[in-house]
Amino acid sequence: MLTITYAPDGTSSWTTGLVLCNTSRSMTELEVKFNHKRVLQTEPGFGAAAMAVFDQQNAQNTLSLKVRRGVDFTSAAFADPEAALAFALTQPAAFPTTGTLQIKLQGVTTNTTLYLLNCGLEGLNLADWLGYAPAFDYVFHGGIISPTSPF
C-alpha cells in the first residue's frame, strides 16, 4: 500500500494535505523513481597532489511516480475525458509553493512513513489516457528524506 500526501508550507496537519496517491498497486506499476544527489564542491589543488572535495551538507532528492486516477485514487475518478483534461490543466495551481511530501509505505513486513522535506512540484505530465483513468507523471524535487514529521 502506498499513500502520498502533499502538505504546502504553512499547513499545520496532514488532514489538510492534498492526497496524490492511495493505492495497493506495486511500485513497479507506479514507475517510482528516486534520485539522491549530494552537493559537493571541488577546488583545484594548485600544486597539491590532488584537488580538494568539500561536502556542502546539502541533500537533493528527486522522486517521480505515475499516478493513474481512478485506479490509484478511486475517489478521484472522472466523469469523462474532458474532466480529466480540466483536472490536468489546473494541477500546477494546486502546488503553489514548497511543502512536504508524506510517503506511507505498508507492505507484507514494512510499515513506515517517510517525509521529503522542503520539496516542490518540479514537473507534471499527462502521460497517457486509459478510458476515464488518465495517468499523471509527478516529479518532486526536495531536500532530505526524514522519518520525522515536520508537524
Within-domain flag for 46: no
Query: What is the percentage of the chain residues whose pLDDT exceeds 70?
Result: 91
Residue 122 CB neighbours (<10 A): 14
Q: What is the CATH number of the domain that holds 32?
A: 2.30.110
Within-domain flag for 132: yes
pLDDT digits (tens, 9 = 90+) for 87-136: 888 887 878 889 999 999 998 899 999 999 999 999 888 888 776 778 88
**DSSP type of residue 132:** T
Domain count, the chain: 1
Q: Give the pTM.
A: 0.81
Distances (CA, A) of 100 to 18, 54, 72, 91: 11, 28, 20, 17
Please state, in angstroms and rounded to a whole number, the distance separating the CA atoms of residues 132 and 114: 31
Within-domain flag for 141: yes
pLDDT digits (tens, 9 = 90+) for 6-22: 999 988 888 888 888 88
Within-domain flag for 102: yes
pLDDT digits (tens, 9 = 90+) for 26-79: 777 788 888 888 777 788 877 667 778 777 667 789 999 888 877 766 666 788
Q: How confident is the model at residue 151 (pLDDT cuts 50, 70, 90)?
A: confident
What pLDDT is attached to residue 76?
Answer: 64
What pLDDT is attached to residue 136?
Answer: 86
Structural domain span for residue 56: 2-39+52-146
Within-domain flag for 44: no
Within-domain flag for 13: yes
Within-domain flag for 47: no
Q: Provide the 3-class DSSP secondary structure of residue 11.
A: coil
Within-domain flag for 135: yes
